[in-house]
């Protein structure tokens, strides 16, 4: 079992039950999935860029990403329907807990001038959205092998 999941079940869940007076274990909030998304506007001209994005995302998450496509055409952006515009991965189960453990304990401390995460990034439904400016904070990505620094969105 993942280290972060063990801590959640052993320490966090009982503390939440006690603090909020939950009567059932099923009332405790739990993390269901993590979505990692990388938008890549250059992919419409150069398909090689999208291959690099998919490779980086696969290395970071340990799972093959799916390519996201444009839902509708937008003339100002020179975008046509079904053009590839990025990649995303949905993590669940043990891979999700391992990714979160690496994100919190390895990657985020490597961010320059890291002041902690913003508590205002929660939406009304309990989802947390985190923007990462560069993929180099993950130890799986080598500086020499990337073509361009790209950011990503992590939604928990």
CATH, residue 43: 3.30.1440.10
Q: Is the pLDDT of residue 47 over 80?
A: no
**Domain hosting residue 22, numbered range:** 1-30
Q: At 18, is the secondary structure helix, strand, or coil?
A: helix
- In this structure, the answer to whether residues 55 and 118 fall within a common structural domain is yes
Rounded-to-integer distance, Cα 48 and Cα 75, Å: 23
Structure-token match 């039950």, residue found: 17
- In this structure, the answer to whether residues 57 and 67 fall within a common structural domain is yes
Rounded-to-integer distance, Cα 82 and Cα 51, Å: 17
58 closest CA partner among 95, 105, 28: 95
- In this structure, the answer to whether residues 79 and 144 fall within a common structural domain is yes
- In this structure, the answer to whether residues 71 and 18 fall within a common structural domain is no
Rounded-to-integer distance, Cα 2 and Cα 5, Å: 5
- In this structure, the answer to whether residues 25 and 57 fall within a common structural domain is no
- In this structure, the answer to whether residues 26 and 102 fall within a common structural domain is no
- In this structure, the answer to whether residues 46 and 123 fall within a common structural domain is yes
H-type alpha helices, 36-154: 47-61, 93-102
- In this structure, the answer to whether residues 25 and 36 fall within a common structural domain is no
Decide: 107 and 44 in contact? Cβ < 8 Å. no
Q: What is the mean pLDDT of residues 100-106?
A: 90
Write down the pLDDT at residue 155: 94
Q: Is the pLDDT of residue 76 over 90?
A: no
Write down the pLDDT at residue 33: 95
Q: What is the mean pLDDT of residues 21-36?
A: 92
- In this structure, the answer to whether residues 18 and 95 fall within a common structural domain is no
Number of domains in the chain: 2
Decide: 76 and 11 in contact? Cβ < 8 Å. no
Write down the pLDDT at residue 137: 87
- In this structure, the answer to whether residues 124 and 113 fall within a common structural domain is yes
Residue-wise pLDDT for 3-24, tens only, equals 999 999 999 999 999 999 999 9
- In this structure, the answer to whether residues 21 and 95 fall within a common structural domain is no
**154 vs 41, more confident:** 154
Q: What is the mean pLDDT of residues 45-72?
A: 87
Rounded-to-integer distance, Cα 18 and Cα 70, Å: 46
What is each CA distance from 114 to 5, 128, 129, in whole angstroms? 24, 18, 16
Phi/psi at 150 (nearest 5 deg)?
Answer: -125, 150
- In this structure, the answer to whether residues 111 and 49 fall within a common structural domain is yes
Write down the pLDDT at residue 149: 85
Write down the pLDDT at residue 129: 92
What is each CA distance from 11 to 7, 82, 141, in whole angstroms? 6, 46, 32
């Amino acid at each position: 079992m993942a280290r972060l999941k063990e801590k959640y079940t052993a320490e966090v869940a009982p503390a939440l039950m006690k603090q909020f007076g939950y009567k059932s274990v099923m009332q405790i909030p739990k993390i269901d999935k993590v979505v990692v998304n990388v938008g890549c506007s250059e992919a419409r001209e150069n398909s090689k860029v999208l291959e690099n994005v998919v490779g980086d995302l696969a290395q970071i998450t340990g799972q093959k990403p799916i390519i996201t496509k444009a839902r509708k055409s937008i003339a100002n952006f020179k975008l046509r329907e079904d053009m590839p515009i990025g990649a995303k991965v949905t993590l669940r189960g043990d891979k999700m807990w391992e990714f979160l453990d690496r994100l919190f304990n390895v990657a985020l401390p490597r961010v320059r001038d890291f002041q902690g995460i913003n508590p205002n990034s929660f939406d009304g439904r309990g989802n947390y959205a985190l923007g990462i400016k560069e993929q180099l904070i993950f130890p799986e990505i080598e500086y020499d092998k990337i073509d361009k620094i790209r950011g990503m969105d992590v939604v928990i």
